[in-house]
Chain A
Amino acid sequence: MNKFVVLLAIALVVSTGYTVVTYQEFFGGFTNLHNYSKTPGYVLTGTMLYPNGTLDLQVANEYGPDTYGGFIVLVQVLNSSVVYQWNASQLGTLPKSEISNEYPLHPAHSDGFALVVPLGQNATVVLHMPFSVNPGKYTVRVYDVDGQYSSNGVKFQAQVTVG
């Protein structure tokens, strides 16, 4: 077989391989089809709650469209019921000093209506309750502006322990 045909065969395998492997890798096309780019979704890993009522909300926007960010309109601290929550008007007017972003571009910010977390950004947002909290286990949950607290098989919440 001449060299041209060998190279052509390799190119065919590489090209077709890229197509089918990335189809499975990015979309699970041959097993469980999914598209992470449709609906916003947040991951709260690393969130901490302190006895004085300070919440370090660690929020990463890892799902949804790339051009329009995610809009968080409600943050709740729960045990059996809601201990405290921050609504849209509070989240929409957070001072810049309470938000720190992992990446320098596309920072998370308040826009007057919501806490905006652009796709891919991972921000620490410091929120203060007006009272201290008892030791114990709590759930911290955020709601997207579409009213959901889960999408893409992920719940936008974290378990935290105080004390």
Chain B
Amino acid sequence: MLSHGYVRIMEVNLDNGKGRVIKREDLVNHLGGSGLAAALYQEYGLPEESPFHPDQPLIFAIGPLNALFPLMSKVVLGFKSPYNGYYAETHAGGRMGTIMRFADIDALVIRGKAKRPSYLVAGSREINVKDARHLWGLDTTLTARLIRQKEARAHGKRSILRIGVSGENLVKIAGINVDTFRHFGRLGAGALMGSKFLKAIMLIGDASFDLDFGPSYKKLYKRLFQDLVGSDLMTKYHGLGTTGNVLPLEKMKSLPVKNMQATTFPEAEGISGEYFADNLLLRQVACTGCPIGCIHIGLLREKFGEEHEYCYRQVSYDHEPVFAMGSMLGISRAEEVITLLDRVEKYGLDVISTGVALAWATEALEKELISKEETLVPYKFGSSKEYLEGIRYLSEGTNEFYRLLGEGVSAAASNYGGEDFACVLGQEMAGYATGPIFFVSQAMGFRHSHLDTAGYQLDQMPEEFTPERAVELLEEEERQRVLLTSMVACLFARKLYTPEVLQEALEAVGLKEQGKSLEELGEGIRRLRWRVKFSTGFKPEKTVIPRRFTEIVNVKGVSSKEYMKDLIKLYSRSINNLRDQEK
């Protein structure tokens, strides 16, 4: 733990099933999360080798504040992406961040390739690589259930990561499921686990630490907790949750619909947060250590036989999954969205990429670039039963077409045509068709996510930003976010954890030096992680925005091609500067 003056790293080598724990004092100024993962990739990674090289590491990192303050609940996974070949981050919540703290692991570095399907059990007193041949080929739900039964200890203090069939099959849009409802979804981390024959990881949080920080720590914890629970700062996340965005986005012509042939959706009501809450919301649950409870679980009672025969499905929903399995596919019934999400969850795919891929396939089929020979089922926007099959074909790589589509929409489009309507911004787009700043910011952001710099917020503001000003604002946002993702905070807490509060929090847990030089450390981390990405071949100036993004109407009208070109040029310059700057 950083407060003790070092970071504790657990290395596991799957080649021989052995591991070791090391304490590193020299890494403390990388803080944790984004900073620590990038620093460790520099040491352990093979930037020029294939993402599937057996020695490529999976690096899970928490930060100095995990479990010590509310909403410090996330984990950063740093890895070389099988999807695009660059150094990448993907983030997840659930129990894992807190459980890593209590497993006394600041970073878990997994290298090598197991000789047979395996799962790892790791805790403060345990490193054990076990046989998982019986789990290979099973879905994510059953895998976790069987591990819980077999490893029946530390109830409530475990965190279980696992891949589905898609990860086993090295599908490059496969994710890692975390604790049933959360995911390291993006950029193909699931395929990396699959390439190592690593089916699952169970972490055990069984260590305790004496608190010797003095009274200011407890006082600050209480104040932050009360700020969170006693105000309406977080109401929207607990109430409707992120699906509360569906209707407002639709109203401002920013909801991607039917492979983004449109940005409005008259039937949006049927997949709105309000509809879900009124008809399908079972309850909310929380990540460990967060009092908000933003994880919304939908319950679908499904009739499967004539004689009053029912089963039920429980699955978490958010704006992104609902856009991906809903509006993007023209599906307007929340019940069908739940059924599709349940299948994506079980096969362990990245839901956003899956939705965008199936939407592209539907339009490509409409335009006769491909035929039923490729798709095997006649996709039609609005009809879920074919998509349900498609999820399986993608996961299993049923034919050449699905194997290519499983590498991402761009890979399929470069073979079959249809690049113009490939909704890809670095990776398959997130559910915010707000306008040019978002399009460029996802395409160029560090992890090609809407969360990198929140360009979608700028598109929604009444001001017109010059490209220069837009880039300044994106940089500013990235600076604050990289601090948060090095703590590792949930980004929903960004209004609470201002740089000043982060400084106070670090100082309260004995990290005075780091607190004082936070801004400088943050900038160092920002530079480092871009440099690591550059070391894997990334070239920001090569960014392409497909034509579809310049054909549709958004908040401020149709996005100008020229404006986006300027933005890409300036943003590239800004990122390239980080590479070239002296330390």
A binds B: no
Interface residues of B (CB under 8 A from A): none
| Residues in chain A within 8 A of chain B (CB atoms) | none
